[in-house]
Amino acid sequence: MNVGGATVLVTGASSGIGAALAVMLADRGATVGLVARREDRLRAVLDRCRLSSPRSQMWVADLADVEGAVAVLDESWEAFDGLDVLVNNAAIPKRRDVRTLSPGELDEVMRVNFTTPARLSLAVLPRMLERDRGLIVNVSSAGGRIGIPHEAAYCASKFALCGWSEAMAMDLAGTGVRVRLIIPGAIATEIWERPDNEPSFYRGPFEPPETVAAGIIDAFDSDRFEHYLPGDMKAVVEFKTTDIDTYLTGAAAVAAAEARAATEASPGGTDQP
């Protein structure tokens, strides 16, 4: 696919990977549709895109509203007279011990991270098939291939997105519509700082969002379905698959040790006088 001249809809485009990707696409000559819920942040990214891609547009939407997100897909298709690429990038974290996770929290994470990307794909797919060309890029996570302590809801949503993407790619084999799955590792985005989440056990290092953005654009032309960004995350996933019991035992031990350390360091903890 020639990025120059392509029309690309990117969700979660107000910050992080989505913002970096939108600007990078615009700089390479694509017309970009930006979708996110924070209008001021989205406007700033759009202004940067329009420096090199004046036809780029934005839509303010909360992607927890599935029907509203589908309406945006319809509007963007009409505005650009078609879409060449849909990038399902938007996601929210939920770091919460499963023993205190609420049904409402689970539902919200599943809507944003899985149901909305799936519904957007279903909405655009008939139109891409009619033109016999198109690309759907689903941005999952290392948490979609390995379980992470205190992230049951997030991992469930990202595992679902991986399975959906694999099956969709098989169903669409032989058509002009392709599917690509992106597996980012630890990326320096706001997902680590979102309120109402337990602290992450992971302390770094972090890759910049531009690493993933460049990798997504490379995936446009690649024959490979799955792309680990950075690539060393693939080794972790392969180890987990080879010896799941060792992985689970080790990850649980690390989580328990981190929890003890946090308790001891807090006011009233065992290390306080």
Q: How many Cβ atoms are within 10 Å of 221's Cβ, its own excluded?
A: 10
Set 154, 202, 228, 247: catalytic member: 154
- The CA distance from 216 to 13, in Å, is 14
Q: Is residue 154 annotated as a catalytic residue, yes or no?
A: yes
Token pair for residue 238?
Answer: 């392969």
Catalytic residues: 154
